[in-house]
């Protein structure tokens, strides 16, 4: 691992906060970071690893901040990036939004956190649920009692502390699937996959024991066991929250756990399968140099008639020098966003099986723009409630607690667009 120091920089490269963990790299080395970055940017070769002499910078960018780790060892790069993302995750849970402002406003907490997260270049306590128990933003108030070490630091159930109480015991389960699709200009699907996650919002008292039942088809897919041939999908990249008893899952396929309090992600998975694009786009973009561009886009809902896609946005790229837009739509409305060189066609509700049409007309200047432009794809955004592509279903959620209270589970399904791209041939 061995990160020598961690820096948080603003967009201009000014150090907002830093922590020198090992003391084997000169802290002034960070001054070279920005100039290196600029130099790489000019050459079009930005890279997440940059070297200056024998110092390597590994960096990520988050909103208007750079998080940089320096090292002079041949350290494990993937671990360093994981740690930087962990930092982002922890800070975000503390400050809701991680950006320059929140660092400035909370720098005491940031110092405290940096101190606990890493020592001598090695990650220590990185679970934000635990950290939140003894590093609080209310630290500014004088409260000596709060400085006790939480039992959870060494507890068996490290993600939940004892003595939590709610008046009304409820748990909300969200099953969210996002669809990633890449369609070629000639209309063939190049790649598609589903990224799903089950999120919990737990409002339960005490130390409840939960058991989640999923439908068989999904369970088989999870364990890689194929029931009826051909029908099963293979899930890869399945991750459970650390609270799930993996041994139990491996032996009898039950997902049992003591949930963390509040919001958490119970599991995530990815299904690499051929999905029929839920919203199919056919586009004809004709560019007549020096005079006009004509765009015709047809959107078709390729999902069940009973379902409705909400807040559909079809984003169609147009040349940067286009002007005087004219639109005609069969439903919804289209808007020209010149700063992004896009036409955004919004349809509030899009029932399955329906087909809609949008025509756009732009003028082009007679003097040609000689800047090279890429070929941006058409992207689509949508959200379909009460529906999952993989067919995953929550059969039951059993909640058992010593005190024997009754608790209600609520389930919600949403399918949404992820990276949904259709290439055009212009």
Partner 1 sequence: MPYIGSEDTVRDLRRVLSNPNVQSDQLRYRNTILKVIRAMSQGVDVSGLFSEMVKACATVDIVQKKLVYVFLCSYATLNPELSLLVINTLRKDCQDPNPMVRSLALRNMTNLRLPSLVEYVEQPLTAGLRDRAACVRRVAVLGWAKLHNLQTNSEIDAAVVNELYSLLRDPDPVVMVNCLRALEEILREEGGVAINKPITHHLLNRLKECDIWGQCEVLRILQRYRPQSEDELFNILSLLDVSLISPHPPVMAATLSLFLSLCSGLPAVGLAALERVRGPLLAACGNTSREMQFTALCHIQLLLRSLPGLMGEHYKRFFCGYAEPAYIKQRKIEVLVELVNDDNVAILLDELRGYCTDVNISTAHAAISAIGRIGRSYSDKCLEILTELLGLKQEHITSAVVQTMRDLVWVCPQCSRTVCSAVEGCEAEIQDSQGRHALLWLLGVYGEQVSSVPYTLEVFIDGVRSEASVGVKMELLTATVRLFLCRPAETQDMLGRLLHYCIEEETNMCVSDQALLYYRLLHCGIEETRKVLQCRRSDPSLGVLIGRPAEPINQWSYIFNTLEPLRPGAIETDDALTASVSAPLSLSLSPALSPEEFEDLWLQQQCPTIFRCSPQSLQAAMQLVNIQTLAFTPPHTLPWRVYLYTNTQNKHSADTCHGTLILGELLVKKNTAEKGIKVTLKQQPRDEKALKGFLSVLTTVLHALSSE
Nearest to partner 1 of 126, 310 (CB atom): 126
Instruction: Pick between residue 300 and residue 423 the one whose CB is nearest to partner 1.
Output: 423
By beta-carbon proximity to partner 1, the closer residue of 182 and 394 is 182
404 binds partner 1 (CB under 8 A): no
Under the binding rule (CB under 8 A), the answer on residue 372 touching partner 1 is yes
Distances (CA, A) of 96 to 62, 88, 89, 103: 13, 11, 10, 11
Site map 248..277 versus partner 1, x via CB under 8 A: ----------------------x-x-----
239 binds partner 1 (CB under 8 A): yes
Tell which positions 289-328 bind partner 1, by CB under 8 A: none
Single residue of 13, 260, 277, 377 touching partner 1 by CB under 8 A: 377
Applying CB under 8 A, among 31, 119, 162, 286 the residue interacting with partner 1 is 119
Asked if 191 is part of the footprint of partner 1 (rule: CB under 8 A), the reply reads: yes
Among 12, 28, 42, 74, binds partner 1 (CB under 8 A): 74
CB of 239 to partner 1, least distance (A): 4
Instruction: Select 66 or 356, whichever has its Cβ closest to partner 1.
Output: 66
Output 272 or 346, the one with its CB closest to partner 1.
Answer: 272
Closest of 1, 141, 138, 21 to residue 79, by C-alpha? 1
# binding residues, partner 1 (CB under 8 A): 76
Using the rule CB under 8 A, which residue among 108, 284, 337, 408 binds partner 1?
A: 108
Stretch that binds partner 1, among 39-47, 93-101, 169-177, 389-397 (CB under 8 A): 39-47
Residue 401 CB, nearest approach to partner 1 (Å): 26
Judged by CB, which is closer to partner 1: 203, or 238?
238
| C-alpha R_g of the chain | 26
Q: What is the rounded distance in angstroms from the CA atom of residue 277 to the CA atom of residue 193? A: 10
* Position 134 contacts partner 1 (CB under 8 A): yes
* Closer by beta carbon to partner 1, 78 or else 406: 78
Contact between residue 210 and residue 397 where contact means Cβ atoms under 8 Å apart: yes
Residue 101 CB, nearest approach to partner 1 (Å) = 14
Query: What is the edge-to-edge ordering of all strands in the sheet holding 279-288?
Result: 279-288, 292-301, 355-363, 323-329
Q: What's the CA gap between 309 and 414, in Å, rounded?
A: 10
Interatomic CA distance for residues 242 and 261, integer angstroms: 13
| CA-closest candidate to residue 316, choices 279, 339, 285 | 285
Cβ distance 117 to 86 under 8 Å? yes
Residues 197-236 close enough to bind partner 1 by CB under 8 A: 236
Taking the complex as a whole, the smallest distance from the CB of residue 9 to partner 1 amounts, in Å, to 12
**Largest alpha-carbon pair distance within the chain?**
78
Task: Identify the residue among 10, 32, 64, 77 touching partner 1 (CB under 8 A).
Answer: 77
Q: With CB under 8 A as the contact rule, which of the stretches 44-52, 94-102, 287-295, 308-316 interacts with partner 1?
A: 44-52
Which residues partner with 50 through β-bridges?
Answer: 57
Nearest residue to 36 (alpha-carbon basis) of 9, 17, 74, 1 = 9
Q: 140 to 169, contacts with partner 1 by CB under 8 A?
A: 140, 142, 144, 147-149, 153-154
* 122 counts as binding partner 1 under rule CB under 8 A: yes
Binding mask 46-65 for partner 1 (x = CB under 8 A): xxxx-x-xx-x-x-x-----
| 237 near partner 1, judged by CB under 8 A | yes
Q: What's the CA dihedral at 177, 183, 187, 190 to 10 degrees?
A: -100
d(CA 7, CA 27): 9
Query: Exactly one of 26, 36, 100, 126 binds partner 1 (CB under 8 A); which one?
Result: 126
């Amino acid at each position: 691992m061995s990160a020598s120091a961690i820096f948080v920089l603003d967009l201009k490269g000014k150090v907002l906060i830093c922590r020198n963990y090992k003391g084997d790299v000169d802290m002034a080395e960070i001054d070279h970071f920005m100039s290196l970055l600029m130099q790489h940017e000019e050459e079009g070769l930005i890279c997440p690893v940059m070297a200056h002499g024998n110092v390597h910078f590994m960096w990520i960018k988050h909103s208007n901040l750079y998080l940089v780790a320096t090292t002079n060892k041949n350290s494990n790069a993937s671990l360093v990036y994981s740690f930087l993302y962990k930092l982002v995750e922890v800070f975000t849970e503390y400050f809701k939004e991680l950006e320059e402002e929140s660092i400035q406003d909370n720098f005491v907490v940031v110092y405290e956190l940096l101190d606990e997260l890493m020592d001598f270049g090695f990650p220590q306590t990185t679970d934000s649920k635990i950290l939140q128990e003894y590093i609080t933003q209310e630290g500014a108030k004088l409260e000596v009692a709060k400085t006790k070490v939480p039992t959870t630091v060494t507890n068996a159930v490290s993600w939940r502390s004892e003595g939590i109480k709610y008046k009304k015991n409820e748990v909300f389960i969200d099953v969210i699937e996002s669809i990633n699709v890449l369609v070629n200009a000639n209309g063939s699907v190049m790649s598609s996959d589903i990224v799903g996650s089950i999120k919990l919002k737990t409002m339960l008292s005490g130390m409840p024991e939960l058991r989640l039942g999923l439908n068989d088809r999904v369970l088989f897919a999870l364990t890689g066991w194929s029931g009826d041939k051909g029908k099963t999908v293979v899930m890869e990249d399945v991750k459970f929250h650390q609270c799930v008893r993996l041994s139990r899952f491996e032996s009898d396929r039950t997902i049992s756990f003591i949930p963390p309090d509040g919001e958490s992600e119970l599991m995530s998975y990815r299904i690499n399968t051929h999905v029929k694009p839920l919203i199919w786009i056919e586009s004809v973009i004709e560019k007549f140099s020096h005079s006009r561009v004509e765009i015709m886009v047809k959107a078709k809902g390729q999902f069940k008639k009973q379902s409705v896609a909400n807040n559909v946005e079809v984003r169609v790229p147009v040349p940067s020098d286009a002007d005087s837009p004219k639109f005609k739509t069969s439903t919804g409305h289209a808007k020209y966003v010149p700063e992004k060189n896009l036409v955004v066609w919004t349809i509030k509700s899009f029932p399955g099986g329906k087909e809609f049409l949008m025509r756009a007309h732009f003028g082009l200047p007679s003097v040609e723009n000689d800047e090279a432009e890429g070929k941006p794809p058409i992207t689509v955004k949508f959200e379909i409630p009460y529906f999952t592509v993989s067919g995953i279903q929550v059969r039951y959620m059993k909640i058992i607690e010593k005190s024997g209270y009754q608790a209600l589970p609520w389930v919600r399904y949403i399918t949404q667009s992820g990276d949904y791209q259709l290439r055009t041939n212009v």
